[in-house]
Amino acid sequence: MKKLIFFVLMTSCALAAGQTRNPLKRPFSSHSIWNMPIGSEAVYVPANLPNYADVTPRPWNPMPQMDDELIIMHPEVDEVPVARNGTGWNNPNRCVPDGTTPTLHFKTLPIPPNYTVPNSSKNNSAAVLSKGGRFVYQLQPLTKCAGLESATALLDFPPVDIYGSGHSGAHGGSGMSAVGGSLRIGELRPGQEPPHHALKVDVDSVSVMHPCTVKSDCYRWPAYGADSYAAQPGIGYGSKASVTPPAAMKMGALLALPPSVDIAKIGLETPPAMMLAWTMQNYGAYIVDSTGGPGFAIAAENGPDGNYRDQFKADWNMAFEGWVASNTPWTRDIGRIVVLLSVIDNNALNSIGGGGIPLQPLAPEIAPPN
């Protein structure tokens, strides 16, 4: 364990000056919310996230769950038709266009012909890079059934410049990005540095969010909104909380491990958890959606380039997703991290990450080709 701790802490130095950055793997500007480190002036407020492991017997709550993000960065392939299907999450049959209005703002997108997304009730937040390789089109829920050329979605969102700030997108709970902040294929692997960017998580909003009576008070920057039920009495945010969550706990909140937490001394048992804790302390994670039940979810890639679950299993010989009741080293580690998280109370447009001196040097800047 001492060698692991030394590796994580010593190899987590910043990306060297002059290093390049692949915009398809780590998009958006250096000052984007997804790339900005936590700052030295960050104000930490305990999030009071529950330790589900304290319940006896241990419950079957996800710890963690993976929130699939369908990330498609293949502008070189032919475009396929994309049309609206209005069934959404209500007994959906999403495979074929149903002619409902309004129509989507775009008609075709470059999606590999052999890539399929089966009919389901999943959120399927998707991000597709345009043919020119410059703009990301986001939609939800993406479906592309086997044997059919066309894809469908219920909702689409304004295109986002891959070289811009990139914080808006197809996460229905917050209106935030379906690609920025994602755990990507190729990250959190043995022998590598931890991810040098903010992450995205889902929480049980009815039990851990601060209660709100008007929807505009249910979210904070950089979120664009909150779930439709957020302010409804009896079922809204915070309505099932055992203790009143802090006022800072709203959709869009930036969670992080405070600098007072020594990640080498909190009992972490697995290498990927040590790496994840470093990222949570130096970059944090934005709350972008609700889990729909007690538990904790992390947004990760599932697209033509691979399913993050498969990579994690192959790398670490354990499943990425688990339950509190599983009581494995990995699920215990995630629980240890979750209960120590705080909200960066002063995270704002003019003080991303809380402001002050960034805990890590900024990512190398990227610019569109001439």
pLDDT digits (tens, 9 = 90+) for 190-236: 999 999 999 999 999 999 999 999 999 999 999 999 999 999 999 99
Contact, 182 vs 298, CB < 8 A? Answer: no
**Does 9 have pLDDT greater than 60?**
no
pLDDT at 39 over 90: yes
Count of Cβ atoms closer than 10 Å to residue 314 Cβ: 10
Q: What is the model's pLDDT at position 246?
A: 96
Q: Check whether 10 has a pLDDT greater than 80.
A: no
Host H or E run for residue 208? helix 205-208
Q: What is the C-alpha to C-alpha distance for residues 187 and 194, in angstroms, rounded to an integer? A: 7
- Model confidence at 328: pLDDT above 50: yes
CB atoms within 10 A of CB 296: 24
User: Helices 271-282 and 329-338 meet at what angle, rounded to 10?
Assistant: 20
Mean residue pLDDT across the chain: 92
φ, ψ for residue 293 (rounded to 5)? 180, 165
**Tokens (6 digits) for 223:** 């979120």
The DSSP result for 343-361, as a single string, is EETT-BTTBGGGSSSBSSP
Residue 176, pLDDT score: 97
Q: How far apart are CA 63 and CA 78, in angstroms?
A: 39
With contact defined as beta carbons under 8 Å apart, do 276 and 335 qualify? no
- What was the pLDDT predicted at 19? 63
Residues in the chain: 370
What lies within 8 Å, CB to CB, of 298 at 6+ separation is 64, 65, 66, 67, 183, 199, 200, 201, 202, 285
Contacts of 311 (CB under 8 A, 6+ apart): 185, 186, 189
> What are the structure tokens assigned to 293, written together?
């039940």
With 80 as the cut, is the pLDDT of residue 7 above it? no
pTM of model > 0.85: yes
Note whether 346 and 41 are within 8 A (CB): yes
Over range 244-250, report the average pLDDT.
Answer: 95
Residue 237 is classified by DSSP as T
DSSP bridge pairs for 358: 39
User: Which H or E run includes 3?
Assistant: helix 2-10
Q: Which two tokens stand for residue 304?
A: 């033509």
Q: How many helices (H) and strands (E) does the chain have?
A: 5, 17
- Give phi and psi for 69, each to the nearest 5: -120, 120
366 neighbors 21 (Cβ within 8 angstroms): yes
pLDDT tens-digit readout, 136-187 = 999 999 999 999 988 999 999 999 999 999 999 999 899 999 999 999 999 9
Long-range contacts of 261-266 (CB under 8 A, 24+ apart): 261/340, 263/8, 264/5, 264/9, 266/336, 266/337, 266/340
